[in-house]
Structure 1
C-alpha cells in the first residue's frame, strides 16, 4: 500500500479531526485545572511545587491540537491544495508537540522534589493529572500520524483524476 494509492474517506477524516479537537480541549481544560491547583498552594517550609510541564504550559499546547483538528475537518469538507497542505503541516507539528510533551511529562514524573506537608496533596494530585495527560499523547500522535500518511495521497492526485474512495461511493448511494 503505497502513499499514492492509499485513500481515506471524508467521513473518516472528519472523525479524526473531531477526536483531535476533543483531545485539544481536554488538554486545555486540564491545564486550567493545574493552574488553579498550583496557584492555590501555600508557601511552606520547602516551597511550592512547580513542575516542568506546568512552567512550560504543555497542556496549553492543546490549542495546536484544536487548530489541527479544525483544519482537518475543513480539509475533508473542502478539498483544496492549500487546506490539505496546511492541515498536513499542522498534523506534523502535532506529532512533534506530542513527543515534546510526553518527554517533558516523563521527565517531570521521574524527578520529584519534596514539598512542604501542606502542598503535598496538591503536588500529588498534579502528578496524577500529568499521568493521565501522558496517556492521551499516544492517541494524539496516532491520529496525527494517520492523517499525515493518508493525506499525502490527496496531495498527489491531479484535478482530472477521481479521488473518490469506496466508502464515498457507498455513502453516496444510500
Structure 2
C-alpha cells in the first residue's frame, strides 16, 4: 500500500515539475526527482507481493526471497532518506514563476520522508521475523531428522 502511495507521489511530482516555466533562474529539479526516488516504491510493492505469497505458501526458498527483498527495501529506504535530506537541506533560487511548484514539491518530499521511516520499520520487522522463522524451521527439520534416525 505504501509502495502504491510512493508511485502516485512520483506521478504527482512528475506533473508538478514538468509544468514549470523556464525563467531567469531556471527550474527546480531536485536530486530525488532526477533519480526517480519515489519511483523506487516498486520495491515495496514487490516486497508486499512476496510477503503475501510466503504467508499463504511458506517454503524455505520463499522465506529467503522475502528476506532478500526486504533487505533491498531497507537499503532503498536508507538511500531515499539520504537523498531527501540532501534535497531539503539545499534550496537554490528559482524563478518566481516556479517558486510555488518548488515549495509544493519540497512539502511532498517532507511527507515522503515520514513514509520512508515507516517503510524502513516495516521492512526491518519483516526481516527480523523472516530470520527467526528460518531459524525455527531449521530446528524443526533437524529434530525430525534426529527422531527418524533414532527409531530402529
Q: Superposition RMSD on alpha carbons, in Å?
A: 1.3
State which of 141, 153, 163 in structure 1 corresponds to 2:120: 141
- Deviation readout 1:49-87 (Å, 9 max, x if unpaired): 000000000000000000011101111110011111001
Aligned residues: 141
> Are residue 30 (structure 1) and residue 9 (structure 2) matched?
yes
Instruction: Specify the SS of the correspondent of 2:92.
Output: coil
CA distance in 1 between counterparts of 2:132 and 2:116 reads 25
CA distance in 2 between counterparts of 1:154 and 1:144 reads 15
Whichever of the two has the greater Rg, that structure is 2
> Are residue 89 (structure 1) and residue 100 (structure 2) matched?
no
Q: Which runs of 5+ in 2 are unaligned?
A: 145-152
Shift of 1:153: 2.0
| TM-score (norm: length of structure 1) | 0.78
CA distance in 2 between counterparts of 1:37 and 1:138 reads 24
Q: State the match for 1:69 in structure 2.
A: 48
Q: State the match for 1:168 in structure 2.
A: none
> Are residue 40 (structure 1) and residue 19 (structure 2) matched?
yes
Name which structure has the greater RCO, CA cutoff 8 Å, separation 6+. Answer: 1
Counting helix residues as a fraction of each chain, which structure ranks higher? 2
Instruction: Specify the SS of the correspondent of 1:79.
Output: coil
CA distance in 1 between counterparts of 2:132 and 2:110 reads 36
| TM-score (norm: length of structure 2) | 0.89
